[in-house]
Amino acid sequence: MKIFITGGSGYLGHPLCMKLAAQGNSIHLMLRDPQSVFAPRHPNIRIFKGDINERSQVDKAIAGCSQVYHTAAAVKLWAEDPDEIFRTNVDGTANVLESARNEGVSRFVFTSTCGVIGPCIHEPMTESDPRIAGFSLDYELSKKMAEDLVFLYARNGLDALVVSPPKIYGPGKVAQKYNANAPISWFLKNRIAFIPSPGSYRTCFAFIDDVVNGHLLAMERGKTGEKYILGGVNISYYEFFDLIRKISHNRGYIIQLSKYKVMAWAILQKMNYAITGKDLLFTNKAINRFFSNYCFSSEKAVRELGYQITPVEEALKQTIHFLNQPIYA
């Protein structure tokens, strides 16, 4: 089967491409930089140079394909030009959807984020729960707008659906500062983790292998016009890093930061950006998100897709082993 994939050099897209190629599928992968060291290499992968913001380039790469996995996104907490995020995540998605419809693909799976669903108060959020707070990140708002486009196309004849992962961690060739591997790696190397105070704030962490498998299950079993949370364990920040400490035999420190200290840190980062141009790891807008509970239920995906969640202890053992390898360090 010929499959069109966007975002194949990303943390999620890379293993997705490799798994589908290993199954014997013919993969059409579009990358802005085909020579990237993160580009997946396999005899069944054909790389097209292009950008999802250019419809003609998408049309060329998608030709002959019957399935689409759209994982490409501008994953940023902040951009000096916010339009950059919306151009890629909204306009780019519109281009891929229109090309898919014109090509007559049989199914379209869009990768969104649980950030669209938003924070919870007590119980984990589900796909159908209304959002209880405004959007603190342009990235999350842009993905909500992209979801709306997917659902619009689904109502108008395209067999399309949405999958929503939370924070993802686990072995992977591609290093990204915004996935959960970054703070885990920092903790292993520097023996210190910074978490919001109190440490009881909870969030959802999903294992990369589960999320990749969830995409395949969504393509095979998902219902048109539906959304599926591909989650994992809902756990407090303190419990998560304490578990890492125990598994890795790391005597590191878990430091709980007050909201005021994080606000001061964000200001210092902004000043540093003005001088060095170095990307921000935290912004004032992201602070409220950091001091909130982001828990999600994967019950729908488990029930309808057969989605399976790797026990967090086993997932962390694999992750720690990978992150301790010199090739990653």
Return the beta strands (E) in 232-324 as ranges: 233-236, 253-257
Single-letter residue type at 41: R
d(CA 212, CA 70): 13
Q: Which letter does DSSP use for residue 20 in this model?
A: H
Which position among 11, 69, 139, 237 bears the catalytic label? 139
Which residue in this structure is represented by tokens 């486009």? Answer: 149
Single-letter residue type at 197: S
- State yes or no: is 139 an active-site residue: yes
Contact 48, 89 (CB under 8 A): no
**Backbone phi, then psi, for 151, in 5-degree steps?**
-65, -35
Catalytic residue positions?
Answer: 139
